[in-house]
Each structure stands twice: as C-alpha cells, then as structure tokens.
Amino acid sequence: MKKVILVALLVLMTAAVFAAGSKEASDSPVTISFGLWDENQKPALQKVVDQFNAEHNDIQVVVELTPWGQYWTKLDAAAGAGEAPDVFWMNVYLPKYVDGDVILPLDDLIAKDGVDLSGYVSAVTGMYNYEGSQWAMPKGLDSVAVALNTAIFKKYNVAVPEEGWTWNEMKVAASRLRDAMKKTGEYPILMELDAQPSHFNFTYQTGGNVINDDYTKSGYNLAATTKAYQNVVDLFDENLLAPYTVLSETKGTDLFLSQRGAILFVGSWKSSVLENSEIGKAGAVKLITMPKQDASNASVLGGLGYAIYKHSDHPEEAWEFVKYITGEVGNKIQAEAGIDIPALKNAQKYYLSNFSNINADTFFKAAENAVPFPAGPDLVSWIGIVNDYAAQIFAQEITAEQGTASIYKEMQAIIEK
C-alpha cells in the first residue's frame, strides 16, 4: 500500500514539474526577427526596437542587419528554406516577393485593428498595394525637388525662381545665367542622370509614363515619354545643362556644393548634405518643387515598407511590432534622428527639427504630387535596359526616338515573357 501511495505521489510531483515547466515556457517572450540593410539607420531603429521590447513583456524583437549587397540574396535563400525574418524591409521589388508567396497580406490585420492608411503619404502606401491587397506598411519616403544657389542668382542679377514655375521659365532663367557665366566654369543647371532624380520624373511630367499601373505595358512607345528625354537633350544642346561628359564624371550634387551650378535637381536623400554644406550654412540654398512641364511637376516617389514573412510562426506578434514601428512613436524616433522623411504625415514635423539652414519641408510638398516609383515584378530585368539606353540618349549616341523605341521593344518583351 505504501508503494502505491509513493508511486502516486511521484506521478503527481512529476506532473507538477512538467506543468511548471510548461507554464514557464508559455511565459517566455516570443522572439521576432527584424531584417534590414542600412547600417546608418540601425542605431535609430534599434532605439525603436528597445522601446518596443521594454513595453512588451511577451514579445522581444531582434535586429538582423544584412548589408545591401547581400540582403536580397540572403532573403531569397532564407525564404526558400522557410527561415526568412518575421519582419523585413521591402522596396519596389515587392511584386516579385508577392508572386513568390513570401509576404503576408495585411488587409485583414489592418481592418481588425482599424489602422488608418489615409494618415500616410498615399504614393508610398500605393507602392505596397499590389493586385488589390496591401502587402507592407509604409516606412519613409524620398522625393525629388530643386535646390537653388541663391548667391549665384544674385551675383548675375537673375531673379530667383519661385514656387509654381514652369519648365520654360526654368529655361529662360538658365539662359540668362548661361550668358553671364561664359568662361567661368559654372553651369546653369545640374542634375544626376540616374532614373529617380531625373528622367523617370520627367516622363510623368510630360504626360507619359515608364510602365502602366498594372505593370503590363511599357510607356516607352508614347510620344510624351520620348518628349521627356528630348527635353533633356535640348538642355544639353542649348548649353543650359552641364555637359554630359562633366555629369558622367562628377555628381551634379558635388558640382553644386562646390558652387559650380545654380539649379540642381536633387533627391531628399541629399537633404542632410545640403543642410551641412558651406553654402547651406551661408543661407544660400533655397528648395522649390520641380518646374511644371506639359502635364505636371510630379515627383517619382521612393520609400521603404515593412513586410511580414507569410510563413512566420508568429504573425500576430510580428504585426504588433509593425504597427508600433510605423506608428507615431516609432516614426518620431526615426524622424528626430533624421534618417528618413516619415511616410506618416503626422510625424513629418519631427523630421524638420534636423534642419535650420534649408527649407526641407519642400520635399513634403513634392511628395503631395508624386507617383510611386515605377516597378513591377520584372523591374530587375528591365531597369538596366532603361538606364543603358538613357545614357546613350544623353550622350547623344542615339536620338531620343531611337532610344525610347529600343527601350520599349526590349522592355515589353520582358514583360510579356
């Protein structure tokens, strides 16, 4: 009888131990991995993570930094092995990862918690809405505006352009500067001839496009798109824009900072550079939105998003973190660090606290009339083709008509494959 009682006690004690162990396991926090690529942004984002972790005993987020050069390769391999980060940065490559069944659609989660997407800049939200679903929450944005060296305008007695100017008004002002700048080594207009800070914007401003909204048709067969490229060639021909040989060797922003140019098409990612430059500190930098062409002065908007891995073991906890980092608290920390213009409009005021020398809020104005960066599931395959032919057009090795026709033919073949 004693043996029976002893065995029963042992069983009860063992069950109690296992129950205690189960309770302890259930009380331990869920670990969420968060993948990003920018070392410069990591300190501010780590601060957001630390604050989130302090406020959530049941969830702990761990940052995984992978440099840009390895980020997508690592993400592809991890997703293929079922081991992608629970939350990770996403950009215009989104359609590829949606089609690859890597990303969790957020519509139900957004609706369940009543998240108001209208509080974010619409073009950034739109970047992550694909085939009728929302696949990522907006992080920040980058837009394109124009920086003016007011000291150069004053030196040559040319009126400084004002908001609402047009492409033709820019050419008139640049012509006056050109005539006064003879043999000085200065240039009326500067730009970096990469797609986002220059020619992608112009295609929409003239009424064309790079690719249609459902990513099925290249816009390079449109006369308005060809005109956008011809307008840049005309600037070269009229000596209003620094020569192609100069711009291909030296960044337009570097020429502007060395006071060799009066008008610079510039992305918001250079805002801190302008703020801390000698001409910025001298109060000689004025920002205005781009001049209007035939259709608009639209800016092509870039920006990152936060996506959730579709096969995460903890999607609800991942969503809690995404809500936090894209909410006002998370955005405030990032904005005050100056790492990004917040896509959350209510948090943009915190970003401005980093600037006293330039009117950085112009980049917000540019975002109001913006279109999402043209992308699609085949972006990686055709973006190089566009850039190669654009370079040949600007070097005047081929005409704008020849270049855009070639882009259309090769780009459309990729889209239809």
Domains of the chain, residue spans:
30-142+302-354, 144-301+378-416
Backbone phi, then psi, for 185, in 5-degree steps? Answer: 80, 10
Work out the average pLDDT over 9-27.
41
Burial 131-161 (b: 16+ CB within 10 A, else e): eeebbbbbbbbbbbbbbbbbebbebbebeeb
pTM of the model: 0.87
Q: Quickly state the pLDDT bin for 238 (edges 50, 70, 90).
A: very high
Q: Which two tokens stand for residue 402?
A: 């020849």
Calculate the CA dihedral of residues 199, 200, 205, 206 and round it to 10 degrees. Answer: 70
402 pLDDT exceeds 70? yes
Q: Which CATH architecture has domain 30-142+302-354?
A: 3-Layer(aba) Sandwich (3.40)
Q: Which two tokens stand for residue 103?
A: 């990303």
Q: Tell me the pLDDT tens digit for each residue of 322-369.
A: 999 999 999 999 999 988 899 999 999 999 999 999 999 999 999 988
Work out the average pLDDT over 58-83.
96
pLDDT for the residue numbered 3? 42
Distance CA 118, CA 112 (A): 16
pLDDT for the residue numbered 25? 42
3-state secondary structure of 312: coil
Q: Which two tokens stand for residue 365?
A: 């104005």
Backbone phi, then psi, for 96, in 5-degree steps? Answer: -60, -40
Q: Quickly state the pLDDT bin for 22 (edges 50, 70, 90).
A: very low
Work out the average pLDDT over 191-204.
94
Q: Quickly state the pLDDT bin for 200 (edges 50, 70, 90).
A: very high
pLDDT for the residue numbered 339? 86
Q: Quickly state the pLDDT bin for 249 (edges 50, 70, 90).
A: very high
pLDDT for the residue numbered 180? 96
Same fold for the pair 30-142+302-354 and 144-301+378-416: yes
The CATH class of 144-301+378-416 is alpha beta
Residues 6+ apart with CB under 8 A from 367: 121, 123, 124, 141, 143, 299, 301, 341
pLDDT for the residue numbered 146? 98
